[in-house]
């Protein structure tokens, strides 16, 4: 009888311990901006169960105009963030030790557009003009470009006046700025809807000009990389996320629907999200999450030249996650 009781007790203990042993690793992802197709890969991975397949319990937090991902992760509110490298580097130098672990976005979606009635056809026409720029970490590529052109940004006949623009095309429509910043996958679509396009716009594409800085990358806190279990969770997260990106780009209609369903605010509209997914396809490589060193070095040099960072960064990226996926 003692043997049977012991066996039953051992079995009960094993059953009670099973849920804990099988518990999924919890990770929180902080997005750079509001819920939209810019982040379709992560939203699709969650909706299609790709994170579940990798034994992950992922919480995705929407961003917004008053949310800085770098501050969120520094305060312990996230394990992984999506941010632009310029913002990540600036935060790292200011004491938030962020490390890039993967770079799904290979190309920049940033452009500046100017209505033809402004008379702007080249950067030579910028002096004396007002240029709209987003801030909160989005301004660094613009200032690096102006620095490359040798244009002061304090106004005056020989420089440009910088308008801290809203996250839409209204500053251009209302004449508040001669040129505004847009993303190919977002605000440029709004400009098209408003009747603008290549026929009545001068378009400066950062990538085509060779001024592109790395945008949506995945960043974690440096000290967490000392934990092999955490690194393993990050690796499974990137694997599942890239599966989500591949699915989104192959199924843009469904991806757009998932984005709309994932938006708790109800602001996301299907037509615009579908447009965004199609444009994001041109920027993301779903088969290669590794950091491209040529673009990385160009990004770092531009930040150094502008004085956004003072020192050559060390330890700002790691290949341990993407190497494990090869």
CB 60 within 8 A of CB 8: no
d(CA 147, CA 52): 46
Task: Give the CA-trace dihedral at 93, 94, 96, 97, to 10 degrees.
Answer: 20
Euclidean distance between the first and the last CA atom of the chain, given in angstroms as a whole number: 54
Which pLDDT value is given to residue 22? Answer: 61
Widest pairwise Cα distance in the chain:
97
Mind listing the pLDDT tens digit of every residue in the chain (326 residues)? Answer: 333 333 444 444 444 444 444 689 999 999 999 999 999 999 999 999 999 999 999 999 999 988 999 999 999 999 999 999 999 999 999 999 999 999 999 999 999 999 999 999 999 999 999 999 998 778 888 998 998 899 999 999 999 999 999 888 999 999 999 999 999 999 999 999 999 999 999 999 998 988 888 999 999 999 999 999 999 999 999 999 999 999 999 999 999 999 999 999 999 999 999 999 999 989 999 999 999 999 999 899 989 988 889 999 999 999 999 999 98
CB 85 within 8 A of CB 212: no
Token representation of residue 79: 């394990």
Domain boundaries, the chain: 21-107+214-324, 110-205
Beta bridge partners of 82: 218
Count the neighbouring beta carbons within 10 Å of the beta carbon of residue 136.
17
Angle between helix axes 270-280 and 252-262 (nearest 10 degrees) is: 120
pLDDT digits (tens, 9 = 90+) for 154-175: 999 999 999 999 888 999 999 9
Token representation of residue 99: 């490390």
Beta carbons within 8 Å of 259's beta carbon, 6+ residues apart: 35, 36, 37, 39, 40, 43, 268, 273, 276, 277
The model's pTM:
0.88
Angle between helix axes 252-262 and 228-250 (nearest 10 degrees) is: 120
- In angstroms, what is the C-alpha Rg of the chain? 23
CATH number belonging to domain 21-107+214-324: 3.40.190.10
Same-fold call for 21-107+214-324 versus 110-205:
yes
Structural class in CATH, domain 110-205: alpha beta
CB 36 within 8 A of CB 186: yes
Task: Give the CA-trace dihedral at 176, 182, 188, 192, to 10 degrees.
Answer: 10
What DSSP line would sit under 57-77, residue for residue?
EEEEE--BTTB-HHHHHHTTS
What DSSP line would sit under 132-197, residue for residue?
EE--TTSSHHHHHHHHHHT--SS-STTS-EEEE--SSSHHHHTTS-SBEEEETTTHHHHHHHTT--
d(CA 231, CA 321): 7
d(CA 306, CA 284): 27
Beta bridge partners of 180: 113
């Amino acid at each position: 009888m003692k043997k049977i009781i012991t066996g039953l007790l051992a079995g009960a203990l094993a059953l009670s311990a099973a849920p804990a042993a099988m518990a999924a690793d919890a990770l929180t992802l902080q997005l750079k901006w509001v819920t939209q197709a810019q982040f379709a890969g992560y939203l699709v991975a969650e909706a299609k169960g790709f994170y579940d397949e990798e034994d992950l319990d992922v919480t995705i937090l929407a961003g917004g105009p008053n949310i800085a991902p770098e501050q969120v992760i520094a305060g312990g509110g996230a394990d992984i963030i999506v941010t632009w490298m310029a913002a990540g580097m600036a935060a790292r130098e200011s004491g938030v030790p962020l490390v890039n672990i993967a770079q799904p976005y290979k190309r920049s979606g940033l452009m500046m557009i100017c209505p033809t009635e402004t008379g702007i056809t080249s950067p030579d026409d910028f002096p004396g003009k007002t240029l709209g720029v987003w801030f909160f970490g989005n301004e660094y590529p613009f200032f690096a470009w102006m620095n490359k052109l040798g244009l002061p940004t304090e106004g005056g006949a020989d420089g440009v006046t910088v308008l801290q623009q809203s996250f839409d095309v209204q500053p251009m429509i209302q004449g508040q700025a001669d040129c505004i910043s847009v993303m190919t996958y977002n605000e440029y679509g709004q400009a098209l809807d408003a009747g603008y396009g290549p026929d009545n716009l001068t378009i400066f594409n950062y990538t085509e000009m060779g001024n592109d800085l790395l945008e949506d990358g995945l960043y974690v806190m440096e000290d967490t990389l000392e934990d092999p279990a955490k690194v393993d969770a990050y690796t499974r997260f990137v694997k599942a996320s890239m599966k989500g990106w591949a699915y989104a780009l192959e199924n843009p209609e469904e991806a757009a629907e998932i984005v709309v369903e994932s938006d708790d605010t109800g602001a996301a509209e299907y037509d615009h999200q579908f447009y965004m997914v199609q444009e994001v396809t041109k920027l993301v490589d779903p088969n290669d999450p590794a950091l491209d060193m040529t673009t990385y070095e160009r990004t770092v040099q531009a930040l150094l030249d502008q004085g956004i960072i003072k020192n050559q960064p060390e330890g700002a990226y790691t290949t341990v996650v993407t190497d494990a996926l090869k």
